[in-house]
Structure formats: C-alpha cells, structure tokens
Structure 1
Amino acid sequence: MTRGIVLDVNDLSTVDWPKRAKEAGINTIATHVTPSQVKSFIQSEKGRTFLSECEKYGIWVEHELHAMADLLPRELFSEDSTMFRMNEKGVRVGDFNLCVHSGKALDIVCRNVVDYAKVLRSTSGRYFYWIDDGQPMCKCPDCGKFSDSEQALILENRMVEALRKEVDPKATLAHLAYINTLDPPRKIKPAAGVFLEFAPIHRTWEKSISDTAARQPAQISHGDYLRLLDANLEVFPAETAQVLEYWLDVSLFSHWKKPAVQLPWNRDVFLQDLDAYGKRGIRNFSSFAVYMDSAYVRKYPDVSFLKAYGDGFAAFEHRPNPTSSRP
C-alpha cells in the first residue's frame, strides 16, 4: 500500500523529509515539479543526501512530473512543427503537449523519458511522466478522432514500452485522470504496466468526496468525480490504481502563491475519503504537500497532521481483507 506525499525540490532541500516521513508512517516520497528541475536536485549534494536518507529509513522514492516541455523541448518547434499539437483553428502551435500521431515526436519523447528515468530512478518501479498541466491535446485530423485522455494513453503506452525495454522490465507508468483527461479512454486500451492515477483537483475539501452533492463553485460535483472514477476503474484495475489527493497541499490552499497559508487539515474528511476510495478497491494514495518547506515549518511549527495522516493509513490498511497493491 502506498502512503505517499509529493514535494517539490525546494521542500526537499530545506526540510528533513525522509525522517519526518518515517516518523509519520509515510512510506513514499515523490519529487516534483519537472524532470529537469528534479534531475538537478537529485544530482546535487542535497539530492544525494535525500536519496541516502530515504534508503536509510526505508522510504520509496518516486518522481511525479509535469514532463512534456522537457520530453519534447519547445525549441524543436522551429525545426519540425508537425511534432506539436494543432489547435482548434487548424494551426500547429508549440505551446503545450504534442501530436501523438507524429512518429518523430514519440521517438524523441521516449528517448528522453528513458534518459531521465535512468537518472531519476523510482525505487518502487512506478513512473509518472504527465502531459502538460490541464492543457489541451492535438486537434489534427488524426488526433482529433481521439479524446485528450485517449491521446494521453497513446503516449503513455509508448513510454511504458520504452521504460520496460531500456530501464526496468517491470516498470509501470501512470495514466493521470485530471481536468481534461478525467473521461476514461475508450478507443485505446492501456498497455501492460499502465496504471490509473486519479487526481480530483477541483473538488472541495470541506466535505468528503463521499458527499455527492458537494462541489466547488462552477466545478463538477463530488458525485461526478466518483462517477468518473468508477468509469476509469472499468478500464484500469483498482488494485494498481492510485488516488493523488490534495489533503496536505499547502500550495493549493495558498492558491500557488507565497507566503503560504496554514494548512486547513480536516482529519474527518480525510478518513471519510479513504473509506469512499477504499470501497472501490483502491489501496494506493498520495497527497501533494508542496510549500511545506523550512519557511512553512518555522511559521507553523505544529505539523502533527502528518502523524494523523500516517495513522489514518495504518488503520485503513489493517481493516479486514485489504490487499497490498505495491506494483
């Protein structure tokens, strides 16, 4: 069972997170934000210390990454614009993502994902190389036949094949269901090793996801989120699926601006959420905890919610009949 947190390189370089995770009962730390940022950190003295401390405390290390600008560098647009997405006006643009029907683009992405993964090793065997954050996919005549989630899966199927061939024969790769990829893929089937990661960023954390009528203003309801999760679980197995939540995400509650606000931790909502997700067979969980850096812990030294977070997972894991789903 994954009991995870996702932290950016500033959090990891200014706070002793492996020790805190161990004390809290958290077994997985994922780095963030982009492959190039994390590569620079991992190759630094602080990054090497982080990896050593994770090994010492038995913490899995993963890397959850907004990856496309690094995997298909934007400067290649002037060389061959057909590798990049076509917008709704029929114009090739180099802003986000790629054209998944460009063999050249897929080859470059796979070559780069292998190169990054050889440096950014996942000690769990799970890899996370996401498309651009909530940004549109290609609308060219070939890609336009497929939804954004189906285009993402076309890409992920190629990437996991490359990872298994060049990095780890047992590597698995996340399909992120998030904003524009929440609808399940129907025309494309996941390759072996592709697992579901479900991230309900536009929910409200004042009420549990099990409260189906709850919603943020102008956003979909919790009931719609659960419907979409259930639909995705018809495509991807629950036993390998992961929920990526925001229970601890100071950056979200700070509206991604510093100085950070104090985390509005809600233990009851967290436990009710675990129950709702657990009833669907999900046993892997992580939460963003970005902005929990040295400045945060100096200003808000009470971080006892980390222990409550770990304890909640411990109680959940020891319910009758749970099965571990480490990939």
Structure 2
Amino acid sequence: MKKLLLSLLVLLLCACHSEESFFKMRGVVLSVHDLETVDWPRLAADNGINTIGTHVTPKEVEAFIKSEKGQKFLADCNKYGIQVEHQLHAIHELLPRELFSEDSTLFRMDENGNRVADFNCCASSSKALDIIAENAIHYAKLLPSTNHRYYYWLDDGAPLCFCPECAHLSGSEQALMIENRIIQGLKTIDPKAQLAHLAYHTTMEAPKKVKPADGIFLEFAPFYRSWEKPLSDEFASGRGMTHAENIRFLEDNLKVFPAETAVVLEYWLDVSLFSDWKKPAVKLPWHPDVFMSDLETYAGFGIKNITSFAVYMDDRYWQQYPDQTFLKDYGEGMKRLQ
C-alpha cells in the first residue's frame, strides 16, 4: 500500500512539473565579474532559472564574451538551455562623447540653453539617432541575443534634452524616440529583434506624444519601492514612492505597451543595491513571502517575463554566504505559478 501511494505521489509530482509555467522568462542579470568568477550557467540550471542577462556596459561585456571564460559561459548556457541577453548601460558608447567637439548639436541642451556632453543626447537630432542606431547594430553583431531581446539603456536616472524641439517631450518620450530609431536599425540584421523601453526613474511615466515602433517592449524597473513589503501593500514606500504609485506607473505603461512582451526587471536578488553598491557585500535580505506575492501581482497584469538584478553574487559572496536556498525559492517559485 505504501509503495502504491508513493508511486501515485511521484506521478502527481511529475504531472505538475510537466505543466507549463506561467512565467516564460525566469532570469537574472549579472555583472561580468559575477560571470567570470562563478559557474552561473550551472547555478541557473540547478535552480529553475532560464535566462541570464550580462551587465554593465557594451565594451565590458564585449571583452568578456571574447575571452576564454566568456566563450565557455556561452557554451555552458547553450548546454543547459539558458537564454543569453545583454542588459546594458549603453548610451555613452552608442554616442561617443568625443563627438561633442565635432558637432555639439548631437548632445542634449541643459536648462540654461547650453549644449553639454554629460548625459544622454538630443533626441531630436536625426544625425545623433543615426549614429546611435549604427553603433547599436555594431554591438548587436558582437553581442547577439539568443532570445532576440536587446537592451540599450540611457544614462541611469540622468537628465535628458531641453532644446526647443525636445523640451515639450517627457523623458519617456525622448527615450522612445531614440529606441524607435534603434529598433529600425536592429531589424536590418535581426528581423525578430525586440528592444526594451526601460521605465525607470526619469522614464517611469508612460509616453503619450510618441508611439512605440513595432518591436519595442516595456521593461519595468520598480527601483523606488520597498522589498520588505509586497507591492500589493499600496501604502508601503521606498525612496519616496509608494507602492500604489509604482503600480499606477505600471498600469499606465501597459496601456501603451503589450503585457505579453513586457519584462519586469526587479531587485529581489540585487546584492549590490542592498550593499549600497559597496563591497564587501552584505547578505541578501530575502523575503520569500514578498517575492511570491509580487509574482501574483505581476501575473495579474498578464506579465510573463521576470528577471532580477543579482549583481555582487560573485565568488567572494558565495564563500561568505554559501546558503543558496533563496535561489531555489526564486527559480522554482516562478515555475510553480501556473
């Protein structure tokens, strides 16, 4: 009788595991150093994670991918069936700052009417957009994405352009003008290419005056939240923004971008954030109940693609904090949601 019950239990578990998970993408975003020092393809495969995003800049990732360790990383991801994409702080390399001396109109105008090369670009400069698109194609050839999703981010939370042509546009709308030109270029080398519109900081507000081109998908990064309480707790807040405000931004963006292609870029695993971007790293403050509640929230919006920064999870981190239970919670938690 016991053997029969055990056999039935095994069959039931197998049937459950054979059902397709609601979340198609179950990812982590890692720095080059993390990938150089830890066997992340195996860690991902062991814990139900099916996508790894490299980070931080195009040149850094290019150097890694060309290296022996980078080639082994790609081979191991292929062996385990792990998708590889590249989530990149890219604008400084897509529009090199040294071009300012040749043509300052490529770059943004500040609030005082001065052209400056500090951040981003002039989104109304067709010449700047052509250069950006050309360099995006260059890096897409060097760093192809196995899932056809590309990520070329603007400067992190930095101001955009205030020239007469750009001043009436929000940060989101300026970003989308740049992204629309990039995706046009990417599709010449990858007809299936998709490009992220990152909703983060100055681009959280949904665009109204500019429409996304075919192939642009929403990447929603709720940096201004608490990770000690779930997003469903609307009165909770982090860095001055309530969870209710985060959800409103998500809802507004999903009126512009389709939910089925949207990606949530979370920070549940981001040791670098919880360490205030300083080493030695602190132990990840993991809240599994918050995580599972957040998954339900995102699933309720029809979002099927989830990833999280996991930066600073390098060799030294695992030596100091060897317990990997939270990785199993993370990957398997997303697989359980049907």
Residue 90 of structure 2 corresponds to residue 36 of structure 1: no
Q: What SS does the corresponding residue of 1:144 show, helix, strand or coil?
A: coil
User: How many Å separate the matches in 1 of 2:214 and 2:281?
Assistant: 40
Residue 190 of structure 2 corresponds to residue 180 of structure 1: no
The aligned residue for residue 18 of structure 1 is 41
What is the deviation of 1:224?
0.3
Q: Root-mean-square deviation (CA), in Å?
A: 0.6
The correspondence of residues 83-232 of structure 1 with structure 2, limited to 5 A, is 83-165=106-188, 167-217=189-239, 219-232=240-253
User: How many Å separate the matches in 2 of 1:108 and 1:156?
Assistant: 13
Moved over 4 A (4+): none
Matched AA of 1:144: A
Matched AA of 2:266: E
String of CA shifts for 1:157-201, please: whole Å, max 9, x gaps: 110010001x20010000000000000000011000000000011
User: How many Å separate the matches in 2 of 1:216 and 1:153?
Assistant: 26
Residue 333 of structure 2 corresponds to residue 312 of structure 1: yes
Residue 255 of structure 2 corresponds to residue 234 of structure 1: yes
Matched AA of 1:157: N
User: How many Å separate the matches in 1 of 2:101 and 2:322?
Assistant: 49
What is the deviation of 1:222?
0.3
User: How many Å separate the matches in 1 of 2:161 and 2:193?
Assistant: 27
- Given candidates 277, 287, 298, the residue that maps to 1:256 is 277
CA contact (8 A) 2:218 2:257 kept: yes
Equivalenced residue count is 315
Q: What SS does the corresponding residue of 2:164 show, helix, strand or coil?
A: coil
Residue 298 of structure 2 corresponds to residue 284 of structure 1: no
User: How many Å separate the matches in 2 of 1:152 and 1:17?
Assistant: 32
What is the deviation of 1:146?
0.7
String of CA shifts for 1:302-326, please: whole Å, max 9, x gaps: 111111101110111x2xxxxxxxx
The aligned residue for residue 243 of structure 1 is 264
The aligned residue for residue 321 of structure 1 is none
What is the deviation of 1:103?
1.4
Residue 102 of structure 2 corresponds to residue 79 of structure 1: yes
- Given candidates 296, 300, 320, the residue that maps to 1:275 is 296
User: How many Å separate the matches in 2 of 1:311 and 1:169?
Assistant: 33
What is the deviation of 1:79?
1.3
5+ long unaligned stretches in structure 1 = 319-327
5+ long unaligned stretches in structure 2 = 1-23
User: How many Å separate the matches in 2 of 1:202 and 1:43?
Assistant: 35
Q: What SS does the corresponding residue of 1:64 show, helix, strand or coil?
A: strand
User: How many Å separate the matches in 1 of 2:121 and 2:100?
Assistant: 10
Identify which range, 175-184 or 98-107, moves more after superposition: 98-107
TM-score of the superposition, structure 2-length normalised?
0.92
- Given candidates 277, 287, 295, the residue that maps to 1:266 is 287
User: How many Å separate the matches in 2 of 1:139 and 1:23?
Assistant: 49
User: How many Å separate the matches in 2 of 1:227 and 1:107?
Assistant: 34
Identity over the aligned pairs, expressed in percent? 60
